[in-house]
Chains A and B, each alone.
Chain A
């Protein structure tokens, strides 16, 4: 994604420039939030919070790269705040949605063709596996594998050391592999 935003214009509070930033990053933010919530409406709320927070703190942004890191940092932070606020609700929702195919529950989303049923089973299992990770492991896993960020960038966004990021990534991947092996492949 090309970043043609002028930071100075953005910081002046010009609405059109800010709309452009929203357009550039809203899918990523929504995706990050969804990685934590598995719910579109909650993810939508979190995404709105992220951009409103960004607007209030525009003066702190110094460069395009800083803007990107700031958005990711706030997205992760707000998502984790959401998880903390809704600890018990999330547990209940997780159990009640076992066996439900959530992939089809989006507006505008086409039905999955029959030959993709196995694929969606894997996706569902992966979602459940992600939910079993600790917050730090999930954060690192999502930012590395879903957002394609480098270890250095993840370290900057999360304020964790690079070694810590690598350790979380290793453990997260290992946990998910083990979960998928036992649930999908029936290995023990």
Chain B
């Protein structure tokens, strides 16, 4: 290191990591200029790295810290009580929740099953919600084939208890859209 002056980074290393910067520190002993610059650096750095908050926190009175401790202990006790309540309640709730879950699954499965099949048990054609909302009429294909021609006849059909006249234009359009013969 002889002949080469130390730079700012070297000063940081000496300041923060003196053990690892032995060679740099040795240079200070042999270079008055670097030593002088480092001493200025160390004084300034010491000022800006001091624990500025220590004085403030230490200046708080004992009352503050006792109050803080009491609040923490109170919160912990409250958490303990809640945990204890959960522990006592949980064994009783599990069978109730399991029963509710099974019933819910059973009902859901039943709803899905019945919604997929018509009253005769045969699957009905899928349709959009819009079509259902428009009271589309659906018939099983075999029944439709046995029927006389639609033209000139009044045909009244039911779906889910609600009926509509398919001879009007509205009904005929819907029937054409939904049934493939």
Contact = CB atoms under 8 A, between A and B. Distances in A.
Contacts of A176: 48
B51 interface: yes
Contact of B56 (A103, A141, A170, A174): A103
A56 B68 contact: no
A110 B59 contact: yes
B40 to A, nearest CB: 12
B56 A109 contact: yes
Contacts of B51: 31, 145-146
Interface string A15-42: 1001100110011001100110000100
Given A15-B73, A48-B71, A177-B45, A34 B50 contact: no
Contact of B49 (A19, A110, A173): A173
Contact of B58 (A27, A51, A122, A141): A27
Interface in B34-52: 44-45, 47-52
B65 A108 contact: no
B53 interface: yes
B57 A177 contact: no
B76 interface: yes
Contacts of A127: 52
B81 to A, nearest CB: 13
Contacts of A107: 60-61, 64
Contacts of A27: 57-58, 65
- Chain A contact residues: helix, strand, loop or mixed: helix
B49 A31 contact: no
27 contacts: A19-B69, A22-B68, A22-B69, A22-B73, A23-B65, A26-B68, A27-B65, A30-B57, A30-B68, A31-B51, A40-B60, A47-B68, A48-B72, A48-B75, A51-B72, A55-B76, A56-B79, A103-B56, A106-B60, A108-B59, A126-B48, A146-B51, A146-B52, A166-B16, A170-B9, A174-B8, A177-B48
Interface in B64-94: 64-65, 68-69, 71-73, 75-76, 79
Interface residues on B, range: 20 to 34
B57 A122 contact: no
Interface of B: 8-9, 12, 16-17, 44-45, 47-54, 56-61, 63-65, 68-69, 71-73, 75-76, 79
Interface residues on A, range: 35 or more
Nearest to B69: A22
A163 interface: no
Nearest to A146: B51
Contact of B75 (A52, A173, A177): A52
B57 A19 contact: no
Given A30-B57, A123-B52, A44 B73 contact: no
B54 A31 contact: yes
A97 to B, nearest CB: 15
Closest 10 pairs (CB-CB, A-B): A108-B61, A145-B49, A146-B51, A109-B59, A51-B72, A123-B52, A31-B57, A31-B53, A176-B48, A55-B76
Given A126-B48, A146-B53, A174-B12, 8 more contacts: A22-B68, A27-B57, A31-B54, A52-B79, A141-B49, A146-B54, A151-B17, A173-B49
Contact of B73 (A19, A126, A151, A169): A19
A146 B75 CA distance: 29
B139 to A, nearest CB: 63
